[in-house]
Amino acid sequence: RLTEFHNLQELRQSASLANKVFIQRDYSEGTVCKFHTKLPSELDSRIEKTLFEDTVKTLNNYYAEAEKIGGHAYLEGCLACITAYLIFLCMETRYEKVLKKISRYIQEQNEKIYAPRGLLITDPIERGMRVIEISIYEDRSSSGSSTSSSTTSSSGR
């Protein structure tokens, strides 16, 4: 059931938070920042698989670019070492530049793709780069949340 919102403003005004989904980190290639691209089941009905995968893959590419060990990184590192790392005081590192790009990209994705579908992506940097948090919103006028499956069992252990 797709709830239509036309933009983020409308989302804020008329929707209520129903659930949050967390996309975990993919450590198969080491400690580089990379997220799983598999669409979680809660979002199946909300967004097309390809769109979601594209978003996550683009984010992964951005992080790979930030953490790339190449000529530019060596230069930055050596220069920093020679100045006793004092250039970090004055200079914005490449990583920070890429993080800004990521922030803009997520904002853009939210506005164009996710908000119209009642979803909101939180920048991973706000969650310690551990998860991509996707908030699912329901139209306030619609009945209840999509995950009200709870039969809560008491602590009978």
Partner 1 sequence: MKNCEYQQIDPLALGTPASTPTSTQCAKNKSHRPRRKWEVFPGRNRFYCDGRIIVARQCGVLPLTLGLIVVTSVLFFIFDCPFLVTHLTICIPVVAGVLFLFVVITLLQTSFTDPGILPRALPEEVTNTERQIDNSGSVTYRPPPRTKEIIINGEVVKLKYCFTCKMFRPPRTSHCSLCDNCVERFDHHCPWVGNCVGKRNYRFFYTFIVSLSFLTSFILGCVITHLTLRSQGDKGFLQALQESPLVVCFFSIWSTLGLSGFHTYLVASNLTTNEDIKGSWSTKRGEESGNPYSYNGIFRNCCAVLCGPMPPSLIDRRGFLPPDVIPRTVASGSELHPFMAKNDTNMCTQAPKKLLETVAHSSLVHSTCTSATPKTALVTQEFPFNSVSSMLSPSNTTQHPMDKACCQRGNNSKGPPYSLSHSPLICSKVPDVSFVPLLLLC
Instruction: List residues binding partner 1 (CB under 8 A).
Output: 8, 11-13, 15-22, 25, 27-31, 66-69, 73-74, 76-78, 80-81, 84-86, 88-96, 99-100, 103, 107, 120, 122-123, 125-131, 133, 135, 140, 145, 147-155, 157
Measured from the CB of residue 45, what is the shortest distance to partner 1 in angstroms?
17
Q: Which C-beta is closer to partner 1: that of 47 or that of 132?
A: 132
Could you give the CA distance from residue 118 to residue 11 in angstroms, rounded to a whole number?
7
Nearest residue to 59 (alpha-carbon basis) of 113, 114, 105: 105
Measured from the CB of residue 74, what is the shortest distance to partner 1 in angstroms?
5
Measured from the CB of residue 67, what is the shortest distance to partner 1 in angstroms?
6
Cβ proximity of 87 and 80 under 8 Å: yes
Q: Which C-beta is closer to partner 1: that of 50 or that of 153?
A: 153
Could you give the CA distance from residue 25 to residue 33 in angstroms, rounded to a whole number?
7
Q: Which C-beta is closer to partner 1: that of 19 or that of 60?
A: 19
Measured from the CB of residue 56, what is the shortest distance to partner 1 in angstroms?
18
Q: What is the DSSP letter of 110?
A: I
Please identify which residue in the block is written with the tokens 């809660």. Answer: 42
Cβ proximity of 60 and 34 under 8 Å: yes
**Chain-centre distance for alpha carbon 14:** 23
